[in-house]
Amino acid sequence: MKILLWILPVVFLAIILRIVELDKKKSNFVVTADTNISKNSQLSKYVTQQEVENFAFRYWDIDFAEVKKNPKMEEFRQILKTKDTVRILNFMKDNNISVDEPLHKGVTALMYASFYDDESTMKELIKMGADIHKQDNHKISPMAYAMENNSTKAVKLLYENGVKFEEVTMMQTALGVLGWGEYVEFEPYYDENNMPHIKYRTFEEMHYHEKTYMAENFFRTLLRNNQLDILELVLQSGYKPYLYGYYLGGDISKYTNNLAEADKYYIERAYNTKGRRTFADPKIELELMRFYNSLYFPILQSPFPKPKIAVLRKYNVPIDEWNPSKEFLKKLYNRECYGAWRSQFSPRKNGETYYLRIQDRQTKFLYENCLDKNGTFEDIEEYIVFNQQMKILHKITASEERKFGYGNNRVDMNITSDEIKKLQSKYNNNLE
């Protein structure tokens, strides 16, 4: 199923697009991230300015992008990374650099200081009159840069000096960290008792040397990234996050608090008989689309859902205002809990003794939680916690199979031969 902006279109532009023929004379043109379509109207036949800007945004990295053809500003960029306030101010004075003079691509010293969480330098630049609301050529502000790098002191300082969180529409988010699996180390680690433990990557480990980015609503990015300190500050300010989003094309999505507005998009796709569906019933598919496009979705995509849900509840964010139906929650349970148990149930017989062929951690968890065909998830939060626990167990089970060999990763399930026999008879005779 196509899921809003998280399922991105194939990048149609490379760093430099190949030369295209635009007229009968076969004049050649090169399109780069800095191309201004308005200066060559012929190019508009092949690419729009918005597409060029999206491409530039995708590959822009404030931390690694060098200042081209300007050694002075490149040296200044390197000095800004040191966070040495005295040295920074002296360099500006000695080289007659004004406080809002961009180093390149509209990026100012304050933007660099905000990204690097350099509170001392920020305070001095603000005293000198730095524009705290300014945006660079990519339409990224100091606040957006601070959020992107989890620079909590910078976010607080900018807010205290008058920057409103409503000013931040989009921020960069790394394409390599959009799913739960990217937050987890490939292999769990094992303690002295050979017990497995999941290890999660830190924020710095997740984002270091990421080279491809996309624009996303900043609040959803904070949720996905587990940036709880900044989330708390944003919500304390009275900011009201958008509850729903829908996809407009390219890298562009729209966000709204109007469910009726969002439903126009969701309904069109839920009732489209030619599209791929998760559920046969379009009413249930519609609820699934609401869920996938709600604030719950970035929580589902990343670890530690409970603290994030708790902070949203604390500030009365109506994350389930769309009111998921009991039927929808039941369908989720049947698909991912009871249905998963039935898929794992694999009875075997040795003489008169019954046993399960698969007795790993996933099977044990499903046996303990998903035996009731008439069961359901009480709410979306319970489903998210269950879903993530299954992901953890899947990771551990796969690791144990690699470590000990398939079949040697059995756990004690406390299930008797008689119970296995009864369950098999019940399922075979459809007595559920």
Q: If phi over 0 gives left and psi between -120 and 50 gives alpha, with beta otherwise, what is residue 117?
A: left
Is 83:112 a contact under the CB 8 Å cutoff? no
> Are 157 and 119 spatial neighbours (Cβ–Cβ below 8 Å)?
yes
Q: Which of the 8 DSSP states describes residue 406? A: T
pLDDT of residue 136 exceeding 50: yes
Gap between the Cα atoms of 391 and 381, Å rounded: 16
Q: Answer whether residue 10 shows pLDDT above 50.
A: no
Q: What does DSSP say about strands 252-256 and 244-249: parallel, antiparallel, or unpaired?
A: antiparallel
Kindly state the tokens that stand for 257.
């608090």
pLDDT at 15: 35
Rounded Cα distance, 311 and 232, in Å: 7
Helix (H, G, I), strand (E, B), or coil: what is residue 247?
Answer: strand
CATH number of 72-314: 1.25.40.20
- CB 233: neighbour CB atoms within 10 A? 17
Q: If DSSP codes are grouped into helix, strand and coil, which group holds residue 307?
A: helix
Task: Give residue for tokens 């050979």.
Answer: 194
Q: What's the pLDDT tens digit per position in 37-73?
A: 565 556 666 666 566 556 667 788 999 999 999 999 9
Domain ranges of the chain: 4-58, 72-314, 326-428
Q: Does residue 4 contact residue 248 with C-beta atoms inside 8 Å?
A: no
Whole-angstrom distance, CA of residue 307 vs CA of residue 312: 9
Listed as own residue / partner, the contacts of 365-372 with beta carbons closer than 8 Å and 24 or more positions apart are 365/389, 365/390, 365/393, 366/337, 366/340, 366/341, 367/341, 367/413, 367/415, 369/337, 370/333, 370/337, 370/338, 370/340, 370/341, 371/338, 371/341, 372/338
Count of CB atoms situated within 10 Å of the CB of 242: 16
The pLDDT of residue 11 is: 40
User: Is residue 21 scored above 80 in pLDDT?
Assistant: no
Which of 20-29, 51-60, 82-91 shows the lowest mean pLDDT across its residues? 20-29
Q: What is the pTM of this model?
A: 0.84
Residue 136 amino acid letter: D
Residue 26 pLDDT level (bands cut at 50, 70, 90)? very low
If one counts every other C-beta atom within 10 angstroms of the C-beta of residue 296, the result is 25
pLDDT score of 185: 86
pLDDT of amino acid 52 = 58
Q: Please provide residue 96's backbone torsions phi and psi, each rounded to the nearest 5 degrees.
A: 55, 45
